Amino acid sequence: MRTLITGGVKSGKSSRALQLAAEFTGARHFLATAIAFDDEMRDRIARHRAERANAFVTIEETVDIDLALRDSMIVDCIPMWLNNLFYLERDAEWEAILERFIAVMPPELVIVTNETGMGVIPSDPLSRRYGIALGLANARLARAVDRVELMVAGLPLRVK
């Protein structure tokens, strides 16, 4: 089943993705999109690696996520991938990459994303463009998957 998990920061999205991936058949894959920009990100990446232990084959791809998809995969996470595109000044490419990604999604897939902009409108144009792009990407992914869950305080709420 193709599932999109969304929610706020530290709402339990990654842990839920690991729970759902326990149902995967065959070898499990993990697509990590983060770039270790600083010590905090390095620590966060290390914690996530430790959570997965050796249960997954990890593939690190920060931009071309459509080319890195494998069967039985967690993709963690869409906001970081989009951030990378903005950071690398390749944000004009996000829609094309996402469309290719959707076209080749395997049947066993869990995608982790975030809900941002649920109330505060950023004061700068770049942050507003990012929030709009993430909202559009989330909507496209939600239409393309079989199930959507919203994580609230560590609890999964079925949306689709």
Catalytically active residues, by annotation = 48
Residue 17 makes CB contacts below 8 A (sequence gap 6+) with 5, 74, 76, 110, 112
If residue 37 lies in a helix (H) or strand (E), which one and from where to where? Answer: none
* Element spanning 125, H or E: helix 125-144
Half-sphere exposure for 149 (CA within 13 Å, toward CB): 23
- Rounded distance, CA 109 to CA 75, Å? 8
Paired with 32 in beta bridges are: 60, 76
Q: In angstroms, rounded to a whole number, what is the distance separating the alpha carbons of residues 33 and 17?
A: 15
